[in-house]
Amino acid sequence: MRVLLDTNALLWINQGTLAPPSVAALKDSASIHVSAASIWEVEIKAANGKLKIDGDLIQAVHEAGFKPLAITLEHSRAAGRLPLHHRDPFDRMLIAQAAIEKLTIATADRQFESYQVPLIGVARA
């Protein structure tokens, strides 16, 4: 299984606070991907003072062996065309990327269930 981390899952992994059952669920993944949208979202929230990040998240992604996923024109079009079940533009991008790239999203966000993408539920410890 190829997995795309939702931003919260990425942050929890980076902080070491992902619940053990969630860690186990991801352990058997063939590959784990991180979207450029997640880094963008984190940086915006950090700049606004809504989120504090210790260290370099991009470096952490590389050190963990996660695969970066760029945003393409096709991803952008698909995100814009999604039904408005979820209004967060970053999450909409992740959903579009997962659909196009045939990835399973690791998320705690129940709103993702409204879309036709495979999900792995994750939780914070």
- Which tens digits make up the pLDDT trace of 55-100? 999 999 999 999 999 999 999 999 999 999 988 999 999 999 999 9
The count of residues in the chain is 125
Task: Quote the Cα angle for 122-46-24, to 5°.
Answer: 20
Reported as a single tens digit per residue, the pLDDT across 26-61 is 998 999 999 999 999 999 999 999 999 989 999 999
Between the CA of residue 59 and those of 56, 67, 82, what are the distances in Å?
Answer: 5, 12, 31
Backbone φ and ψ for 124, nearest 5 degrees, come out as -85, 140
CATH T-level fold of 2-121: Rossmann fold (3.40.50)
Give percent of the chain above pLDDT 70: 100
HSE-CB for 94 with a 13 A CA cutoff: 31
Task: Quote the Cα angle for 119-122-124, to 5°.
Answer: 160
pTM above 0.85, yes or no: yes
Between the CA of residue 118 and those of 5, 6, 40, 59, 96, what are the distances in Å?
Answer: 12, 13, 23, 28, 12
Q: Which amino acid is at 23?
A: V
Please list, in sequence order, all residues whose beta carbon lies within 8 angstroms of the beta carbon of residue 61, skipping any fewer than 6 positions away. 10, 34, 39, 68
